[in-house]
Amino acid sequence: MRPDQVVRHATTPLTAPVYPPRATRFTDREYLNVVYRTDPEALRTVVPEPLEIDEPLVRFEVMKMGEVDGFGPYVEAGQVVPVRYRDEEGEYLHAMYLDNFAATAAGRELSAYPKVMGSPRLFTEAGALVGTLDHGNQRVATATMAYKWQPLDPAEAREQITVPTYGVKIVPDYTGGLRVCDLVRTRITDVTVKEAWTGPARLQLSAHVMAPLADLPVLEVVSASHILTDLTLAPAVPVHDYLAERRSAA
């Protein structure tokens, strides 16, 4: 394989890529979102500067992907934190667990999504929408929401889905250091809201060393939503270089 072919492939492994290197389109992407109040000190230990926290809130989300270009259906769960970067309100991507290796690799390599493997589920049972997350055989999260309890304004649902998101992109070098350490920003703009609901909800988190969602404890459930969408992911753009900051401080 010639050097120009190596560069053109730009995937691992070169001859058997696990994801297409292009924008991903989701059809029937279903969300269960539970926003809750947590311990502010615990939150400050996990949100990196220069992001700022106005209120000690966390959003636990479970996303069931009905159909995804290049990946097929899968389920994802995790935590995001409402934050502010300069004058912009957004969300910090704290943790993501999913049951699809290709989507895990693509999220980490093409963007800055903090994805690891897990076993999330989203289903209806006895009048409730239920979202769960297991790590191995251990249950680490259970969210329940009254099923299609009250319609949610589609404009509000769209605002929830299109909030700017921030993550930390880390690429190690070959000596134990870092080649890249950036705060990056992305925002979904191509989205169609098909259904949107709100209602009462509950959330239970269990401590697990490899899936420490309970480190941000649930003190009070603030709101919940159930949203069905079609959307396309947008590329990430670096907004802050931690390595440059360190070099200038040296």
- Predicted structure pTM score: 0.94
Query: What is the Cα–Cα distance from 131 to 145, expressed in whole angstroms?
Result: 9
Q: Does residue 250 register a pLDDT over 80? A: no
CB-based burial label for 249 (10 Å; 0-12, 13-18, 19+):
exposed
pLDDT at 96: 98
pLDDT tens-digit map of 198-227? 999 999 999 999 999 999 999 999 999 999
pLDDT tens-digit map of 65-108? 999 999 999 999 999 999 999 999 999 999 999 999 999 999 99
Concatenated DSSP letters of 61-130: EEEEEEEETTT-SEEEEEEEEEEEETTEEEEEEEEEEES-HHHHHHHHHHS---EEE-EEEEEEETTEEE
Which of the pair, 63 or 13, is modelled with greater confidence? 63
Query: Where do the domains of the chain lie, and which CATH numbers do they carry?
Result: 23-249 (2.40.400.10)
Taken in order 195, 198, 204, 210, is the CA torsion positive or negative? positive
Residues 6 or more apart from 222 whose CB is under 8 A from it? 35, 36, 37, 57
pLDDT at 10: 75
Read off the tokens for 213. Answer: 């969602």
Q: Does residue 12 register a pLDDT over 90? A: no
| Helix, strand, or coil (residue 5) | helix
Q: Does residue 117 register a pLDDT over 90? A: yes
Q: What is the mean pLDDT of residues 194-201?
A: 98
Read off the tokens for 218. Answer: 């649930």
| Helix, strand, or coil (residue 142) | strand
Which of the pair, 4 or 74, is modelled with greater confidence? 74
Q: Does residue 20 register a pLDDT over 90? A: no
Question: Of 12-26, 27-41, 211-225, where does mean pLDDT reach its minimum?
Answer: 12-26
Query: What is the Cα–Cα distance from 211 to 78, expressed in whole angstroms?
Result: 10
Beta pairing partners, 158: none
pLDDT band at 1 (very low <50, low <70, confident <90, very high): confident
Query: What is the Cα–Cα distance from 20 to 9, expressed in whole angstroms?
Result: 10
Q: What is the mean pLDDT of residues 35-40?
A: 98
Q: What is the mean pLDDT of residues 233-239?
A: 95
148 an active-site residue? no
pLDDT band at 8 (very low <50, low <70, confident <90, very high): confident
Q: Does residue 3 register a pLDDT over 80? A: yes
CB-based burial label for 100 (10 Å; 0-12, 13-18, 19+):
buried
Q: Which of 64, 115, 169, 194 is catalytic?
A: 115
Cβ(100)–Cβ(71) under 8 Å?
A: yes
pLDDT at 249: 81
pLDDT at 17: 86
